[in-house]
Amino acid sequence: MALQGILVLELAGLAPGPFCAMVLADFGARVVRVERPGSHYDVSRLGRGKRSLALDLKQPRGAAVLRRLCARSDVLLEPFRSGVMEKLQLGPEILQRDNPKLIYARLTGFGQSGSFSRLAGHDINYLALSGVLSKIGRNGENPYAPLNLLADFAGGGLMCVLGIMMALFERTRSGKGQVIDANMVEGTAYLSSFLWKTQKSSLWEAPRGQNILDGGAPFYTTYRTADGEFMAVGAIEPQFYELLIKGLGLKSDELPNQMSMDDWPEMKKKFAAVFAKKTKAEWCQIFDGTDACVTPVLTLEEVVHHDHSKERGSFITNEEQSISPRPAPLLSNTPAIPSFKRDPFVGEHTEEILDEFGFSREEIDQLKSDKIIESNKVKASL
């Protein structure tokens, strides 16, 4: 795989960090998740392909263990607020002195500097500060966050993956690692570059929820069907819009101009009334295979069984029969080969990892006795 031979240490955190490390593991990196003793499992459920080491970093000897691990690793991924790692004597200046090739990836909400850098937050807060939240929501209603996908996983986890990949590539030329300041606010803002670059265009001239791409247009929204399901419509271009009108059984010459914004509210009502007359399956029969840009709104259960998903093998099932999306994108020569094993228990691999990093049996036993590390080996059932 593309990242074969790359060793990553992931310090346990919530969703963005675990997702970042899982992507690296999916594409071949060896990922060790360093977790707090006493914790039961990764609440994010994103431990695929990783091994678990339970280590108490708050104790100086625990921090010393991590320092030894970092001396032989390629990437350290840490999710703590600004200053936390420095207090533990594990800041980049110290760790990169030991290992100049170490890539030190810092993934936080607000970044390593600025007045918010030491504050707590969640996806909705980062989304709000990025400016993006102000653009999401229906006309006359409060802005709303689209789950916790945009800031946590796109602006945070995936942007951090990008930073790590670029740092790994640059290291092939300089031989040196670097520090990555990945944060959800700026990552989400960067994702919204299209919004910034088109602010003065006609795309956003109306208030939130009344524009083409934010639910205002009758040809770019969702409609309820006769069976209480939904269809998604994205027929922007004139030729696609004509196919939409044809599929709905309407006539263009009897409708207002597609781009007449004053008529959009009434056109949405008309389209809604038509969509409500047939079931989702019936609309699929009409629009499937056309360029009308009309598709069913699939549930998570439905998407797994959809023909397109099955034809491409878009989902995988692990040994516990848990279904999840196959890693993307597809690489022709070095595709991701995700693990099909269950996620690791906290501390399941503690002893074997330390052994691989050169810790003696006596050192491991002493660390275990002093509760610096925790080992939760799986016992065989006979």
Active site residue 291: no
Q: Is the dihedral of CA 209, 211, 217, 220 positive or negative?
A: negative
What gap in Å lies between CA 204 and CA 323, rounded to an integer? Answer: 39
Residues 6+ apart with CB under 8 A from 356: none
181 belongs to the catalytic site? no
Cα 212 from chain centre: 26
* C-beta separation of 86 from 106 below 8 A: no
The answer for residues whose C-beta is within 8 angstroms of residue 67's C-beta and 6 or more apart is: 90, 94, 95, 98
What span, in angstroms and rounded, lies between the C-alpha atoms of 235 and 219? 5
CA angle 125, 128, 130 (to 5 degrees): 110
Q: Which of 152, 214, 343, 349 is catalytic?
A: 152
Q: How many CB atoms lie within 10 A of CB 51?
A: 17
Among 65, 69, 66, 75, CA closest to 101: 75
Catalytic center residues: 122, 152
